Chains A and B, each alone.
Chain A
Amino acid sequence: MSKSAILSIAVRYLLPLQLLFALFVLVRGHNEPGGGFIAGLVVAAAFALYAIAHDVRQARAVLRFSPRRFIAVGLLLAAASGLVALLAGKPFMTGLWSTVELPVIGKVGTPLMFDIGVFLVVIGVALMMIFTLMEE
């Protein structure tokens, strides 16, 4: 497959934008439509585009950590978000919020932590499948 110069240059500028957008979708998912799942897909799409424009090896290098690690950390983070409630004496996965409001985001709580976990797992799973299929 011949590489398109236009695409590979464009991707260089698109990638940060896509990642920023993913972050926006992730945080917005707190109270509005959005959330970890679609944000993860946006990130995966960004890296898939990068892998198409350049190649999988370079995309892996830009990603830095292997997709597997994303899955592991995401799973543990999601599990931990449920454990917080357990420590507070509430049933597993009860949503707990901090009392202070952060600017822009609002109140932060364990649901956001769970969402970040989902976000990481989705990035990991989607990229693992995409990279595996592209490498063969």
Chain B
Amino acid sequence: MEILLAVVIGGLYAAGFYMVMRRSMVKVIIGLVLLGHAANLLIFTVGGLNRGAPALVPVEGAAPAATDPVPQALILTAIVIGFGIQAFALVLFKRVYQAVGSVDLDKIRTPDT
């Protein structure tokens, strides 16, 4: 399972970086989303895959085999942050599209003034 996930993560990073380097703004956003997913999945995998074990254990009684909850908490936080940032990215890129009239990043030059 780890090997499969490692391949998937590698693929996500590769695809993400490839998309970020494209000229079209829409593809850049998709690339950023993919990079975020890759990072989250990476944390999930390196945190230790433990099938069927809960992250929360009851206070009373014997503790069953548990999964480390920290990676899940990290991912949850990262997803929430990513959610906010991606929404902002959409608004920003849409504004740029309206101002410039193109999704081609080469057409957007930073003026000197």
Contacts and interface: CB of A to CB of B under 8 A. Distances in A.
Q: Do A and B come from one complex?
A: yes
Interface of A: 37, 125, 129, 132-133, 136
A129 B91 contact: yes
Contacts of A129: 87-88, 91
B80 A37 contact: yes
A129 B83 CA distance: 11
A136 B94 contact: yes
A132 B91 contact: yes
A132 B91 CA distance: 8
A108 to B, nearest CB: 19
Nearest to A122: B80
11 contacts: A37-B80, A125-B84, A129-B87, A129-B88, A129-B91, A132-B91, A133-B87, A133-B90, A133-B91, A133-B94, A136-B94
Contacts of B94: 133, 136
